[in-house]
Structures are given as structure tokens and as C-alpha cells.
Amino acid sequence: MTAQNQNRRAKRYGMSIDIDKCNGCGACMMACAVENNIPPLPEAANDRRGVTWIRVYKVDNHRPYPERRIAFVPVLCQQCGHDTPCVHVCPQQAVEVDPATGIVGQMPERCLGCRYCMVACPYHARYFNWWDPKWPAGMEKTLNPDVAPRMRGVVEKCNFCHGRWHAAQQKAAAAGKSEIDPADYVPACVEACPTGALRFGDLNDSSSQVAQDAERPESFRLLEKLGTEPKIHYRSQRGWVREIANAPRPEGKDEARG
Amino acid sequence: MTTTRRNLLKFVGGGAAGALLTPAPWRLITDTALWSENWPGIPRPARGEIRARFTHCTLCPAGCAVRARCVNGQPVSLTGVKPHPISHGALCPWGIAGHHLPYHPARVRQGPVKEALAAVARAMDQRSAGERVAVLDLRPGRTVSWTYRRAMAAIENGLYLAPRQPAYSIDLAAAETVVSFGAPLFDGWGTPGNVFAARGNFRLVQIEPVESRTAALADMWLPIRPGTETAMAAALGGETTIAEAARLTGVGEEAIGAVKEAAENGPAVVLAADPSSPLMSLNAKLRALGRTVVARREAPLPEAWKKAAPVTEMAAAPDGAIRVLLIDESLPGGYVPWQEIEPKLAANAVVVVFTSTTEGYARHARYVLPSPVYPEAAEDIGPAIDTVGEVFRIAAPLLAPVVPVVNPGEFVARIAGLPQSDPLRERADAIHQAGRGALLGYADGKSTPAKEVTADNFWKTLNQGGCWMDDTGKKAAPGKLEFIAAGEPPHDELPLMVVAAGGRRGGLAPPLMSKLERESNLRMAANRVALSPADARSNGIENGGRCLLETACGRLSVVATIDAGVPAGVVEVAAGPRIADLCGASPRARVVRA
Amino acid sequence: MIGGKIAFASGMLVALAGGWLAFPRILYQTRLQPVNFSHKVHAEKAGTKCEDCHSFRDDGTYAGIPTLDKCSGCHAAAMGTTVAEKNFIDQYVTPNREPQWLSYAQQPENVYFSHIAHVKLGHVKCEQCHGNEGGAATLRPYQRDPISGYSRDIWGRPVSPIGLRTEGGMRMDDCVDCHRRQGLEYSCMGCHK
Amino acid sequence: MLPGPKERMRLVDKEFIARGLRRSSTGRFLLWILPWAALLVFGLYAAALCLVKGLNQTNMDNRFAFGLWIFLDLTVIALGAGAFFTGFLLYILKIDELRAVINSAVVIGLVCYSGAVAVLAVDVGQPLRAWFTFWYPNVHSMLTEVTFCITCYLTVLFIEYLPIVLRNRKLREVPSFLVFEHELHKLIYVLAGVGTFLSFFHQGSLGGLYGVLRGRPFAFREGLAVWPSTFFLFILSAAAVGPSFILLTTWLVEKLARKQLVRPAVFRRLARISGLLLAVYVLAKAVDTLVWINRTSPETGFQAWQYYSWKPFGTWILFAEIVLFGLLPALVMLTPRLRAHTGWLVTAAAMACCGVALNRFVMTVQTLALPTLSFDPFLSYIPSWQEVGTFLAVVAYGVLVYSFSFRYFNLFPEERELRLEAAAQQEEEPALAGRY
């Protein structure tokens, strides 16, 4: 980081997600893969071996048709703010919480692929590169220069489009500022969401949209009781949707898609 | 003997000990670790100047405005254009990865161009009187469509075929109640940005058997018994009693009553999955014509183009008469099932298809010619179903075709002997001469009246990112709406009703769709069908198991997904050319274990 | 017994010599720059400054080594009489072929280095990291570690001080040191991408 | 005339076998080695596939990020604990009887630990970077603790193994070896001490590995300072089954070699120690479980009962772990009358070992199978043949190392005396040569 600490207030970037607006189109997942140089995986990959930094889950209220209702829940790295499970398990400091942004960073070039962090993460938001990255011939021309492709055998995850953060920093620097303009730093998924279900901002800035969303009564966080202070705030007017924040209930076992 | 051997060992031992005191081993360990950072096979993204370029998406008729982030001119990511008044900066998942399409591994990469030309020419002069030369245009309403119509007018017995275009467009912004009979409003219908922008103002009633993405976000979802939409429409139109409808559709009376009341009160609009379904006639009863259902308007045309062949529907074409059929499948559109086309072909018909995918007509045509794909082709996009007023936008190519392609428009113009020209430019000039409307530039988001711009700047702006719009508030009622009464599904023994899942289908899908289909279970892959647990059980099908989808027209090997959200008696499919060919007009099927 | 000790000692000596003297030289593969370019001449005769050729783009991104058109701006035809320039004109300018410069300072793919942030916000002088490249009369050979594939300037301390350049601070340790010294943040994600 | 190659091999083989020990003929030994060698080769091939083509060769995935291998590592390291614990009892607590099995224990320990480390090297996605853990260690990570301790202890084991090797009849002809061995032997107490310390730590941190997972309430435990309760439970359980495993293996070798190797008293002593510790462990485990069910788990929002309503992991697994394979063997080994019967002893020991294996299974596999998010499915996982192959390679490697050690080194110091006594008792009838 290049700007002085003193003239920069620490940020706490977070996201608010309005589940009642998400139609599960998947634009966020596509934009994420495009932005972060994530290749389409070989045929052998399934939903348990895929790499989807943000993954939209289809959830339902476990009632029989026609009372059954569905909702779509985008799950990305929840950027836990308090004893972040993945950080202190990593044996070689490949995971860190950036004090300046509150973003949980994963260092592919430091990672040795022990996958302990994936075991530690209750949100399954961390993904292992089971294959070397391979793009269809010619498609590597479309890679994003602000993000380095990862190699096989390392763990990766959402970092709020850190490439965009770097770019915003650079833009600010070009203008002689050390503070970035919030409008310049928006993750790809948020930018791509056609329904405006996703919002991004600094939770430390009480005037920001996300900070206010987080205060809403219908707002909740996944597995809040674990005490890891995630920075992704979901909200829904539907009671049964807010239930998903809690621990699983075995009677909820039923055929999920796929 | 032993001593020397022992000394040798000692020497080696000393060497090992010594080596550890040098940087060599440690440096080598470090370097191998560094090597693993960029070992063979990991591509390096090109660095260079980053610029924004603009175009329009041609993957569906919505034609959303696109802002492409380009490195050294090569697009690396696509986003919407916020100031665009129709698409409001939204893109669908297919559009977001559209710039990957040129590199799709399954793309059609070469074809017998010369042979095709020769064969067409031969067939044209050998054909007997009454035998037709036809163009099938899957995406009518484009400028190139007019080229086809002119070409077919120039050729004797020319025939311009196209799937029926609705003569109306829907003004969502004017509606307070939207009654949708399975129209995928939030998942592929119209222009995504426009729909979501209007979403705040209308109350959505979704009437369909499966809880689709649209139904999930609807204010009211009526899980109707499959195939009873007409009964529901009748009740809403006041032809039958609500009780009767409730009995047939399996929807509660009060629910139907509430919908009926809301529909009658407010400015309402009725939508159907198929724009030309008779269900749309309900709009007349709801006094929606001229208010929410308005006349569809196309941008002005050059006078010279008026001499054009009429639009004919496939059904209206004479049987066994088409000697030459040229199919423009370069853009995915309303796929006409092959079994509707086949009977129209003459004995030794020459079928040429311009396409990028092997999934569609390439399976049937004799000559498959590679067409440019988005964003390689210079195209324009006709008005979408939810576009009110006239609009003209150009999909300027973002990169040169990566494979040798044939431009369908030029091909057809050539065989018809039309004079060489640039139809898009002619159209643009015609629009500019009309002097109406305004030109919106995306780079600066400024809108200027068309008459204040020179013809050249008009053309330049359209190509560098801009669109022309003329939305004079006056809304005309559409002409007489014609509908095709859906043929009663033959009451064969097939137990399941085929329902198509939403989403954009046909044509190449970006390779990254694997994220939504294989790498998560968000969307149904083309080879999947969804069944209710009950039907799956009764047919002995387990989740993820291979099975056969059988209809009156044939069978297709698919993978079954058991979904508690699908009602018994319904099979949900990912609609596409193969499914269309399979199901055709009779949407009933059976799923059996493979 | 004695023989044994000697054997051991000699083995050790051989290894030490190899590791400290030979290894550092064989480790790197050396390549020459396509053109014998003299920063010195351009700085003194033409009075150009670094940023005249190594310029920033409008959006603040760094353009790096200038492309041919920049050179041909002045060198459309030979300006001097040196053989090097003649070759340059004949081989590159006339056929309009981009010279394949070898960048000493090219950071690894996983590094996001923002020049403008350092120059404009940090007020860092070019020399501070690049050493006195600008004053050099010739381009020194480009040394590359064939295993890691990285330029010698950006990774790994000089393993043996004997007869090797030590200046130039573009290794990760140099970055971290500097950031530490100035009390700047140095979290991984701050520089890595 | 010179002996043929076969003959020469036989001679070489013979001159390495310790004096006064009866070992099977070279031919039979080769016959015994062969299948294991084959298995090893197959296993190495499987491992090579994983290293060259990557971990896509396994059936692990993002949800089952740890699989068979981690389970294996935890188990063998627990069983290998016999090495350090016997050393501890013998050299620190001066329980001299155990001298009879210490060598064997060291070999077993060596086999288990080296095997585990080898598997770990295959298990990581980027083995070339494994050393980062030593260079950029994250001191808060249990895995760092494990890595450090295991590597150190492995070296200790090697040093402990050396004297056994050097005391070989042929090798001791080299004078310097003899000296070296003597020097090493002086160190043995230090080594034992260090080994014990290290072992306590990594056994503990292996337990901590899962105990610290705040995000996995099924595994998460409270504890003292940075150490969750599983830290201590693992130490205890490892110490408890270590002797049992020594007992089990010794008995097995006796059966295979068809000769007595240690005095029955040794068996009983091992059993008593094992039983005692097992009893303590069971008690501690029971208390821990109760605390977890009533406090730890509910506080994280997870009701403990729900873990056991995902079939097949019912409460039976809890019962099996604590009562069936814990309390029961403990009682058997603590009851003198039952202890007298080798049959009971061995059965109990085997059960104890199963118990610890089950505990490690629950900790690793069940933890990952259970859902954490409310919309997670319950997952199952079946290892691929490459994973199983790698696992088998370790087993084969273990058997081979032990077989060679047993054949050429004096693993059981009492063996010779016992044989002489036996010989003395029975009149000059030819003692039957064992399988080895």
C-alpha cells in the first residue's frame, strides 16, 4: 500500500444483499469469473469442485408443492472481522486481514494448498484449484491484467475484487489523492447485478448505504452466533428466508438441485 | 580397496557438508518454489493501454448497451451503460461473458463457402416453375432482415420466412398490474434493465405451474395446473365463472378473484410466454390496447427499400416448394422446429445455414457456413418487445472475426444480385434525414436532437457507442392482433407436460456458463430435465441419473434432476434447438430410465 | 584414518568453492539487449528526462519501455554516426519492427506495482529503485534466473558479492524495507494481486 | 569354485542376522517380502499420479477438503505414540521391564511418523512450497505446531533408530560405528526426554487442529488458554493406545515368527498402563462431551442433537467411541483375571486401537460431512483408488521396514535368552525355525 496511514482512515468494506431482489440470474457469478480470471473448469468438475468466488444458492422453505417457496442467496467470502477462522489456521501466513480495508486476503503464491482454511470456513467460501487453469484456445487474450491467474494446488476466494481496489488506488494517486473515490471501487458482482440486490461500501462510514442497510431490522448475517463478525449483511422481509441465518435443521434434508 | 571406498564416501560426505554451507541448495529450493508461481500452462494476461469501447449486445433482441473494457483494443470485460434509458446499465449473465464467444471451442470454424454458392446458383436456375428460393430469418426486424426481403423481392419466387413478430410492444412503465402467463419476465423476457427499472411500479401476478425465477419474485404466484391457462384467462376475461376456473386450474377462488379485480381496476397488461398466444387477446378485454399494449414501431427506412418481399410464416409456405433455403442462424432467435420446415422443402432442396453453433440447423442443413458471432459482427438490433417508440442501435464489432466467416447478408445480397452497399449506413442516413428523435452518446451520456448532428457524426456516434431514439409520447393502439391458437396437445398416453425453464437459449453459450450450470446448480444445463420427486420415484429415476426424454417426435438422452419445486405431471426442460425439434407442437413427454 | 580426514576436507573444499564462486555465475542466463541504447547520450545530448520517454498514460498507468514510434519520432533517419544507431535504423525503424527490449524491472505477474503512486504521492526518484540506469552509457546485459524465470533485479539477493552489481532496489525485500522505514502499510494484498 | 549369485546372497543375508537368533531361510523371507514390495510399488505409482497430475486424482473436493489421508495421518501418529511413551516410561520413569519392547517400539514409531509425513507431502497442493511453513511460520496455527514437532520428532526417532542399526552384527565391525553407537547411547535419556516433550506437543496440536475450528461447531471445543480440550484428549488417548499397539504388534510378530519374543509379564505391564490411561481418557472424554453438548455447541447456535440426526452418524457412534471401544477395553485390561489371558489382552488392545481410530475418524470425516449452513446438504465421500493406493503404500512400507529390522536387528533383547531357556527345557529337539 502506498498512501500514508495517518492521512487515511481505516476502512471496513462490506456488502449488503437484498435477498428479496435477487432473481438468481447468475450475472454476479459470471462477472466475478470474468473479472478474476477464473477459467471454465473441465467436464469432471461439479458443484463441489467448481471455483465460484460468489455462488448463488437456491434455498427453499422445505414445504411441499404448492406451499413451497424458493429464494436465491448469493454466498461469497463473508470477510469475517473477528477471530477470522481461516486466518489463524493458515500455517504460513498466506491469509491475512488487511488492517486498512478489513478485507480477508488470500495469497496464492504463499499458499501451499493444505486446505486447512477451507476446513475452517463455515461458509464454504474458499475454493481449491483442483486443476491447472486452462482457457479455451484464444480465450486467454480476454484475461484481466489487474488479476494474476492462480496455479493448480492453491486455495483462492473472494477478495472484493482486489484488482479493482488497486486500480482505484492508482487512479487516486494519479489525481494526487491518497483516498480513493468510493465510486471508483465497486466489486464486479455488485456492478453486474441487474436488480440492484447487491450493495457495497465502507461499514465504518455510517452515511454509506451498506452501513444503513446493516442497521435495518430485517437485516441478518449467516451463522452470526459463531461470533466471527461477517461483513456481508443479508436482508429479507420473508420470515422463512431469515431462518437461513441459523444452524441447519435435519428435517430440512431433501433433494437439492443437482 | 575398502579404504579407498571409505575415503570416497568421506569425500562425498564432506562435499555434502560443504554444500550446505553455500547458498546453492537454499537458492535452488527457493527457485523451485518460485517456479511453481508461473510454471508452464499458466497464461500471462496481456498488459497495455486500457480503454473503454461501446457497442450493443446482439445475443437477444433486447440489444442492451455495452461498455467494453479493452486492453490494447481487446475486450477483457463487459458491463452495461448506466445512462442508457432502455437497458439502464444491466446485462444478463450471457451478455456479461459475450466477449468469450469468438473463442468458444465448439464454434463452427470453417465451411464449404464456394460449394454452397455454386450449389445455390445451380439450384436457382435449375428449379422448375413455382419452386421457391427462401430465406429464413430467425431475428426479423434488423436492417439485414430488410436486405433479405429486398433480395427475395429481387429474386423471382423469392420467399422471406420469419417466426411471427408481435405487432405490438409492451409499455411496462404504464402498467400497474402485470398478469403473466408463464412469461419469464425476470429471466429473459424483454430488456432486463427496463423490466427491473419498471419493477417498482407494477404488481406482478405470475401464473405458471413451476415456481420460476419470475414466480419467486412475483407479488403473487398462482401455481396453476399445467395446460389450464386458457381456463384461467377465460375467468379473468369474465367468460366463465371464477368457481369454474378454480375447479379447472386448481387455484383458489379468492386468489383468482383478487387478480381479476386488480386487472380490471388498474392499467394492466397480460403477458404470455409465447407473444402470439391467444392469451394475449385478454388485453383487449382489459382495455390495455393503446395504454400498455401499443403499436410496435420501427425506425425509418430508405425509400428504396420499400420494394421488399412480405413476411411469410413457415406454416404459410407452400409444401414441397422450397428449392433453396438460406437460414440465418447467426444470431439466436425464434428457432423454428425442423419438422415444420422439412415438409416445405422440395425433393432435392439446397439448405444453407449461417451459424456459429452445431446444435441448431447445422444438424439438418447440407451446407453449414461459419457466421460471425457477437462481438465480431456489425449488426443492428430491432426493437425489443418492451421497447416503446422507435430506436436504432448498432452493434459495432469489438474485434475482427477470429475465424474465416461468411456474412449472411452479403451472401444473400450477392445471390440476389443486389448492388454492393452498406445497408446499415443507408439506414442511418435515412433516419438522420427523417430529422426526428435524438442521438444519445454513451461516452458522455449526452443526448442531442438528431437534426443538430451532421450525417457523418450521426453515423460516427452510432458506431462509437450511441443510439438513436424517438419516443414521442403519443402511443398508438396496435393493429389487429392475430394469434395462433395453440393446437390442443394430442391426448396421447404421454404423462408429462413439458415446461421450458427461463433464460436465453439457442446459439453458443459462453464457456463460463459452466459456473452456473456445472460448477453450481443455479441453472439447468441444456442436457438436464427437472422432475417432481413423485414422478421420479414412479419411474425409478434418481437424482443426477441418465434417462431418456421421449415425445411423439423422438427421444433424447438427458440427465434427470429431482426438484421438489416441480409439480407432478410436469417435466421442466432447458429449452433449446434439440428440445424444440423434439417437442415441437406437442409439448407432452415421458421420461424413462436409460 | 588420516587419509579419511583429507578426503573429507577436500570434499568440503570443492563444494564450498563451487557453491560460492561458480554457482552464482552459472545460476543466471545472460542475454543482450536488442539495441545498444545509451541513456547517457540521450540524457546529455538530447537533454531528455526519464519521463519524456518512460511516460504515464492519461489514466495514470505507466507506459513502461517506449514503443518504436516514440524512437522514430526523432530517429526517422540517423541523427548520429554511431554503428549502433545505424543498425537500429536499419533493423527496426525502417522495417518498423518493435525491438524486443528485455525489462530488467519487470515485476512478477502477481505484483501490482503502481509507478504513479510512488512518483506522485511518494515522491520517489527513479534512481532510488532503478539505480543509475539513466546515466549509463550502455545497456548492461539482462540476467534471468532460468528456474524462476524472473529478472535478476527483482528477485533474490546477490548470492555472492564478488564482482556483481548490488545496487538497484526492486526486490520484494527492498519494497518491504522501504515501506517499513517510512511507516507505510505493507500488507500482502497492498502490493500483490 | 565360487558360489553362485543365489548362494552369495544367502551368505550375505546370513552374516547380517544377529548371532543366536533363528531367522527363516532367505528364500522364505523373500517370499514374504515380495507381495508387500509389489503393494509398495503400486502405491508409489498412485502417489506419483497425485503429485504429477494434481489432487484432481483424488475424490476430495471443496467441501471434503480433508479426506482419507488426514484421517490416516492422525490415526497412525496416535498409534505410533507407543514409541515416545514407552521411551518415557522406560528412561524417565525407569520401568525396566519395557526394555524388552523399546526397540520394536522405536521402529514402529519411526514407521508411523515417516509414513504420515510422506502422505502429508502428497496431500498438499504445492509440495514445492512445503518449506514455507518453516520460513514464514504462523505461530497461531496448530498446523505449524504439528509440522514443527513432527519433523523434529522424526529426526529424534531416526537418531534413536541408529543405535539399533549400528548394533547389527556386520555393521559393528566398523570401529567408528561402534564408537558412534556408544556415544549415541549416552544420549538416549536426553533423546527420550526431548522426544516425549515434542510428542506431547504434536499429539496435542493434532487434537487442536480440529478443536480450534470455531467455524465447525461439531469439532470446536473450549479449553485452557490457546489449547482446546481436544488438545489434551488427544495426548491422553495417544498415550493410552500407544502401549496397546506395541502389545498388539509384538503379539502379532510372535505369532508370525512362531516364537516367544518377550516375557508374558511385559504384556501384562503394557496392558495395565494402557488400561489405566484409557480409563482416565474415557472419563475425560465423557466430561468433555457433556460440556460440549450442554454449553459449547449451543452457544454457537448449534444444538448438539442435530449432529446425530444425519444418518448414518447416529448417537451410536458416540456410544461406540466412548463405551464400546473405550470403557470396555479399559476394564478388561484393568481386571487382573482377564489380563492373565493373552486372548483377552489382545482383544482389548485391538479394541482400544479401534477406539482411537474411530475418534480420529469422527474428528476428521464426520466434521466435514456435517452441514454448517442451513441450506447445506449432508455430504458423503468415497476415496479414489489413488488415495487408497497411497494409503496402502504406507502400510506396505511399514511392514517392509519392520520386517527387515526384525530380521537383521535385535528388536527384542530378551529373544535370545528366551530361546536358550526354551531350548534348555525341552531336550535336544531341533527348535523349529520361524517363518522369518
- Report if residue A4 sits inside a domain: no
Write down the pLDDT at residue D33. Answer: 94
Sequence-separated (6 or more) residues with CB below 8 Å from residue B503: B184, B187, B188, B523, B574
**Is pLDDT above 70 for A8?**
no
Indicate the number of domains in chain A.
Answer: 1
Optimal mutation site among B8, B12, B27, interface C, most CBs of chain C within 10 A: B27
Q: Do C9 and B17 touch (CB under 8 A)?
A: no
Mean pLDDT of D319-325: 94
Residue type, D101: V
Optimal mutation site among C51, C57, C107, C112, interface A, most CBs of chain A within 10 A: C112
Band of pLDDT at residue D427, cut at 50, 70 and 90: low
**Is pLDDT above 90 for D294?**
yes
DSSP state for residue B519 in the 8-state scheme: S
Q: Do D62 and A225 touch (CB under 8 A)?
A: no
Q: Do D141 and A89 touch (CB under 8 A)?
A: yes
Q: Do A145 and B36 touch (CB under 8 A)?
A: no
- Report if residue A6 sits inside a domain: no
Half-sphere exposure of C150 (CA within 13 A, CB side): 25
Write down the pLDDT at residue B576. Answer: 85
Band of pLDDT at residue B276, cut at 50, 70 and 90: confident
pLDDT tens for each residue of B439-463: 999 998 899 999 999 999 999 999 9
**Facing A170 at nearest CB: one of C60, C186, C191:** C60
For chain C, 193 residues long, give each residue's pLDDT as a single digit of tens: 567 788 889 999 999 999 888 888 888 889 999 988 889 888 888 778 888 889 898 888 888 899 888 888 888 888 878 888 888 888 998 888 999 999 988 899 999 999 999 998 888 888 888 888 888 888 888 989 899 889 888 886 655 455 444 444 788 888 888 888 888 877 888 899 8
Q: B307 and B214 in one domain?
A: no
Closest approach of D223 to chain A, Cα-based (Å): 16
Q: Do A29 and B93 touch (CB under 8 A)?
A: yes
Q: Do A31 and B77 touch (CB under 8 A)?
A: yes
Band of pLDDT at residue B487, cut at 50, 70 and 90: low
**Facing B520 at nearest CB: one of A34, A47, A142:** A47
Band of pLDDT at residue D178, cut at 50, 70 and 90: confident
H-type helices in B175-266, by residue range?
A: 192-198, 213-217, 229-236, 242-249, 253-265
Say if CB D133 and CB A92 are below 8 A apart.
Answer: yes
Taking the C-alpha atoms of residue B62 and residue B421, their distance in angstroms, rounded to an integer, is 27
Band of pLDDT at residue D185, cut at 50, 70 and 90: confident
Band of pLDDT at residue A2, cut at 50, 70 and 90: very low
Q: Please tell me if residue A2 touches chain C, with a CB cutoff of 8 Å.
A: yes
Q: B393 and B336 in one domain?
A: yes
Residue in chain C nearest B8 by alpha carbon: C7
The closest alpha carbon to D314, from D356, D279, D366, D365, belongs to D366
Residue type, D156: V
Sequence-separated (6 or more) residues with CB below 8 Å from residue C45: none
- Report if residue B528 sits inside a domain: yes
Which residues of A fall within a CB distance of 8 Å from B541? none
Mean pLDDT of A55-73: 93
Closest approach of D6 to chain B, Cα-based (Å): 24
Q: B286 and B204 in one domain?
A: yes
Which residues of A fall within a CB distance of 8 Å from B187? 23, 25
Q: Please tell me if residue B35 touches chain D, with a CB cutoff of 8 Å.
A: yes
**Facing C11 at nearest CB: one of B18, B34, B38:** B18
Residue type, D370: L
Mean pLDDT of D73-91: 90
**Is pLDDT above 60 for A252?**
no
Band of pLDDT at residue A254, cut at 50, 70 and 90: very low
Mean pLDDT computed over every residue of chain A = 91
Write down the pLDDT at residue B54. Answer: 96
Write down the pLDDT at residue D399. Answer: 96
How many CB pairs below 8 Å do chains A and D form together?
183
Taking the C-alpha atoms of residue B57 and residue B80, their distance in angstroms, rounded to an integer, is 10
- Report if residue B144 sits inside a domain: yes
The pTM assigned to this predicted structure is 0.93
Print the domain residue range for B126: 113-165+299-419
Q: B123 and B78 in one domain?
A: no
Taking the C-alpha atoms of residue C27 and residue C22, their distance in angstroms, rounded to an integer, is 9
DSSP state for residue C117 in the 8-state scheme: I
Band of pLDDT at residue B491, cut at 50, 70 and 90: low
User: CA B321 from chain center: how many Å?
Assistant: 30
Closest approach of A124 to chain B, Cα-based (Å): 13
Q: Do B24 and C23 touch (CB under 8 A)?
A: yes
Mean pLDDT of B369-377: 94
Q: B247 and B151 in one domain?
A: no
Write down the pLDDT at residue B362. Answer: 94
**Is pLDDT above 90 for B109?**
yes
Sequence-separated (6 or more) residues with CB below 8 Å from residue A132: A151, A152, B41, B42, D54
List the 396-435 stretch of D: residues with Cβ below 8 A of A: none
- Report if residue A200 sits inside a domain: yes
Taking the C-alpha atoms of residue D171 and residue D187, their distance in angstroms, rounded to an integer, is 20
How many CB pairs below 8 Å do chains A and C form together?
86
How many CB pairs below 8 Å do chains B and C form together?
101
Identify the domain boundary among B263, B295, B327: B295
Do the strands B268-272 and B177-181 form a parallel or antiparallel pair, or are they unpaired? parallel
Q: B312 and B231 in one domain?
A: no
Taking the C-alpha atoms of residue C42 and residue C134, their distance in angstroms, rounded to an integer, is 9
Mean pLDDT of A174-179: 90
Taking the C-alpha atoms of residue A31 and residue D153, their distance in angstroms, rounded to an integer, is 49
**Facing A151 at nearest CB: one of B42, B520, B523:** B42
Band of pLDDT at residue A1, cut at 50, 70 and 90: very low
Coil, helix or strand for B491?
A: coil
- Report if residue B426 sits inside a domain: no
Residue in chain B nearest A63 by alpha carbon: B564
**Inter-CA distances, A227 with A80, B328, D301, D331, Å:** 9, 59, 10, 42
Identify the domain boundary among B247, B266, B295: B295
Print the domain residue range for A144: 13-252
Coil, helix or strand for B582?
A: helix
Range with the poorest average pLDDT among A153-157, B487-491, B568-572 = B487-491
Mean pLDDT of B48-71: 94
Write down the pLDDT at residue A192. Answer: 96
Mean pLDDT of D380-409: 94
Residue in chain D nearest B30 by alpha carbon: D129
Residue in chain C nearest A93 by alpha carbon: C188
Indicate the number of domains in chain B.
Answer: 4
**Is pLDDT above 70 for D430?**
no
Domain boundaries, chain D: 23-417
Write down the pLDDT at residue A39. Answer: 96
Residue D415 has a CB neighbour count (10 Å cut-off) of 22
Which of B482-486, B531-535, D413-417 reaches the highest mean pLDDT?
B531-535
Strands (E), B318-415: 322-328, 345-355, 367-370, 379-380, 390-395
Percent of chain B with pLDDT over 70: 97
pLDDT tens for each residue of B119-162: 999 999 888 888 999 999 999 999 999 999 999 999 999 999 99
Q: B172 and B291 in one domain?
A: yes
pLDDT tens for each residue of D187-218: 888 888 888 888 888 899 999 999 999 999 99
Write down the pLDDT at residue A4. Answer: 44
List the 110-169 stretch of D: residues with Cβ below 8 A of A: 123-127, 129-130, 132-133, 135-138, 140-144, 147
Which residues of A fall within a CB distance of 8 Å from D374? 59, 243-249, 252
Please list, residue by residue across D36-69, b when 16 or more beta carbons sit within 10 angstroms of its beta carbon and e when fewer do.
beebbebbbebbebbeeebbbbbbbbbbbbbbbb
Sequence-separated (6 or more) residues with CB below 8 Å from residue D169: D15, D16, D17, D18, D19
Residue D180 has a CB neighbour count (10 Å cut-off) of 14
Residue B121 has a CB neighbour count (10 Å cut-off) of 14
Closest approach of A54 to chain C, Cα-based (Å): 18
The closest alpha carbon to A126, from A192, A55, A64, A187, belongs to A55
Mean pLDDT of D217-227: 89
Q: Do A75 and D123 touch (CB under 8 A)?
A: no
Range with the poorest average pLDDT among A213-217, C3-7, D381-385 = C3-7
Q: B194 and B149 in one domain?
A: no
**Facing B22 at nearest CB: one of C3, C10, C15:** C15
